[in-house]
Structure 1
Amino acid sequence: MTSLHDRGALADMPLEAELLVACDTELGEGVQWHPRHRRVFWTDIKASVLWSCDEHGGRVRRLDLEAPLCSFAFCDDGRMLAAFADGLAWVDPLTGRRRLFEPYQPDRPGTRMNDGALDRQGRFVVGGIDEADRQPVTPVWSVDRGRVREILHNVVIANSTAFSPDGTVMYFADTPEGVIRAYAYNPATGTPSQRRDFAVLAPDEGKPDGSTVDAQGALWNARFGGGSVARYLPDGTPDLVVRVPAPNVTCCALGGRTMRRLFITTARIEMTEDALAAAPHAGGLFVVDVPVRGLVPGTYRR
């Protein structure tokens, strides 16, 4: 497998992300590229808004929703399978209308849904967060043809959900631990096992948030509080850093016509007035062109 280090000095210095859309999201998240629409979509969880634009930041659209949207996957029929704060729903991405079909922990009002991603077979794997007490009380679900199954347990903040190109490795982080894990993943059953540490973040690097995997099998991870996105080779070796002019980096996705544009969401949440003055574009959508292709996003199987 070829590393970016084989491409010369570019890999030895950080890349710099630039502002694409000044959307000032309180908690930008869930960014992903839609190849058929040729648009990038992301959510502001706290504002209950779905944003989208073209790969150059044009034709920006803001869609107000009736509840906080945390993560989502597109379906072949044009709908979205969406993880809202209160549960899973089918959503029309043009109108925002939704139909809730699976509540998430209705007996725990302090928790909500959080990070999610499709596996290579089209299952939606999605977890939650205990916003109230930061306790390990939330499950991770696998949603397969409308059926929900719990595959991980006792999580504080589910993040970094991503899958290797061949679908046999699942990446996942319980954010407060500061560690990205790798699981052996059974593509036939959608079951993770044999957990191991993949990457451990130093305190000054922030905490692991959302991730994506490129065509070479490397993992790109957004670092909340670390102002960056880091690329790790399949063996966990740090390989490349993208600096972002906002401290709270939340999620990333590869897309665009060439699948070489890295779209990056950020958040204004937990920032003081002084911190916002120092990073005035925090909460924006950022972008950087990278020398490796992403994987064409799949759709949820129904």
Structure 2
Amino acid sequence: MHKLTFIPDSKCILGEGPLYKENENSLYWSDIKDKRIYKYDLNSKTVEHFQFQKTIASFVFTSENKLLATTNEGYEYLDLKTKEITSLINPEEELINNRFNDGKCDAKGRYFAGTMDNNEEKITGSLYCLDKNICVKKEKDLFISNGLGWNKNSSKFYLTDSPKRVIYVYDYDLETSTMSNKQIFVRIKDEDGYPDGLCLDEEDYIWSAHWAGSKITRYKADGSIDKIIELPVPNVTSCCFGGKDFKTLFITSAQKGLSKEELLAFPLSGSTFILETNVKGQKPNLYQH
């Protein structure tokens, strides 16, 4: 592992959803509470942000080079230039206190995304799959649906429920998007905080961010811990791989939930970090219309 650095001018209240765009050599992520999308150009080392009027929890790029997001009003297309928002589908229109959270596409280009009670009080979350603009519920009774991902051959699917301190693993059928044989992959100890966003590498190891845990844990496929990466902030929110060789780990964090004293003690809270690793990460999948 190499030295940890951070992206300047990028502090978020609740940084989430990092996503690397290979053809631009750029990293995108959102600030859920500030309703912004950030873009960091790795070539010019410059940061841009795009302000919207809706909560943006996760987003993916599509096969037509559009940006499709999960907002507080469902799946919606966002135009970064015009700020125009085009609604696609909202599977929880009647659950006014719910919002979407983390999401990703599988290898067939289906957009999986979970929901949660915005007040973090009730177990009203579900997991949805958007497949060619048809939305199907895949899982229910989630507290805060969070980090998710697949192993390299798409035979396993991982899903985090943060307050339960659990990452689940399912058998996954890529052809049908069927999830089965739900098991507890890991249960996080109280002193290690809460599992948040995650990503996988080419070796099928799982990298999980710890909210209130100041670290990222790399798990082997059997659930044992391979290594721990300590970070100078309490609330580590998510991570993804990118860079020209896909060995760069990008890590988001949050200021949310910290007192004034804690923000003074951990001044980099809310920053997005960069860590060069010696392992290649999985590339993100595009949404297929």
Amino acid aligned to 2:217: A
Equivalent residues in 2 for 1:222-233, closer than 5 Å:
222-233=209-220
1:58 and 2:67 aligned: no
Say which SS state the counterpart of residue 163 (structure 2) adopts.
helix
- 1:142 aligned counterpart, secondary structure: strand
2:122 corresponds to 1:154: no
Instruction: Work out whether residues 10 and 47 of structure 2, in 8 Å CA contact, stay in contact via their aligned partners in 1.
Output: no
Contact 1:128 1:157 (C-alpha < 8 Å) held by counterparts = yes
Contact 1:105/1:111 (CA < 8 Å) preserved in 2? yes
CA–CA distance in structure 2, aligned partners of residues 105 and 159 of structure 1: 17
Counterpart of 2:34 in structure 1 is: 47
TM-score relative to the length of structure 2:
0.96
In 1, Cα distance between equivalents of 2:196 and 2:215: 11
Cα contact 1:111–1:128 (8 A) shared by 2? yes
The equivalent position to 1:181 in structure 2, one of 168, 171, 185, is 168
Q: Which amino acid aligns with 2:122?
A: Q
Counterpart of 2:200?
213
Identity %: 26
Q: Is the 8 A contact 1:219 1:233 kept in 2?
A: yes
Instruction: Provide the C-alpha distance between the structure 1 equivalents of 2:227 and 2:181, rounded to a whole number of angstroms.
Output: 27
The one of 104, 115, 127 equivalent to 1:117 is 104
**Equivalent of 1:106 in 60, 83, 93:** 93
From 248, 258, 266, the counterpart of 1:271:
258
Cα distance between partner residues in 1 of 2:117 and 2:207: 25
Other-structure match for 1:7: none
Please tell me the residue identity of whatever aligns with 2:124: V
Of 74, 77, 93, which aligns to 1:90?
77
Paired with 1:257 and 1:111, the residues of 2 have a C-alpha distance of 37
Instruction: Give, in whole Å, the separation in 2 of the partners of 1:16 and 1:197.
Output: 33
RMSD: 1.5
Count of residue correspondences: 289
Find the aligned partners of 1:132 and 1:296 in 2 and give their Cα distance: 33
Structure 1, gaps ≥5 residues long: 1-9
Aligned to 1:26: 13
TM-score computed with the length of structure 1 as normaliser: 0.92
In the TM superposition, residue 135 of structure 1 has moved relative to its aligned partner by 1.4
> Which residue pairs with 2:127 in the alignment?
140
Q: Does 1:17 align with 2:1?
A: no
**CA distance, structure 2, for counterparts of residue 162 and residue 117 of structure 1:** 7
Counterpart selection for 2:237 from 250, 274, 282: 250
